[in-house]
Amino acid sequence: MWAWKIGPAIATGNTVVLKTAEQTQLSGLMAASLVKEAGFPPGVINVLSGVGKVAGAAISSHMDVDKVAFTGSTIVGRQIMKAAASSNLKKITLELGGKSPNIVFDDADIDNAISWVNFGIFFNHGQCCCAGSRIYVQEGIYDKFVERFKERAAKNKVGDPFAPDTFQGPQVSQLQFDRIMR
């Protein structure tokens, strides 16, 4: 979020209001403290915590907001489009649904491909807008890839996210956990 959305906005002379997801408010507030420590002028990067139905809706319909960049569900993306159109026809950028594919061909270095596919799907507990949650494997290596990928995934240590040997910490919420298990 910071690199893809906030960085370019600041680099081109804009101010930013970052509305954090309800589940990840502390990370946004921590990043805001680093922005202050780095010496950014007050008001250039602003962090707002709150529920999307209230805070997010206010941002997407506010007449003084010129652009909304949103990462999240298709349902909320539609609501943002409607609010943007009903207010000042603000510009919007929507990243909806994720599902960034990994494509592995017959001539791939299998060990390298498995390493990156494993990282792509499990990085940040799989809770990342660019998580590689789809894997397309060419037929000639499919069975070999699946067998080796399962072996690699089984080695991922799940546990305390602050422990140095942990590869994957907990899901952000019970709702997210249930979605994954479905």
CA distance 170 to 122: 11
Token reading at 56: 């997010």
Q: Are 80 and 95 in contact (CB under 8 A)?
A: no
Beta-carbon contacts of residue 117 (< 8 Å; ≥ 6 apart) = 102, 104, 132, 135, 149
Which residue among 22, 37, 95, 130 is the active-site one? Answer: 95
3-class SS at 103?
A: strand
Helical (H) or strand (E) element with 167: none
Q: Active-site residue 128, yes or no?
A: yes
Provide the angle, in degrees to the nearest 10, between the axes of the packed helices 142-154 and 110-122: 50
Which residue among 128, 139, 147, 151 is the active-site one? Answer: 128
Token reading at 45: 């990067």
Active site (catalytic) residues: 95, 128
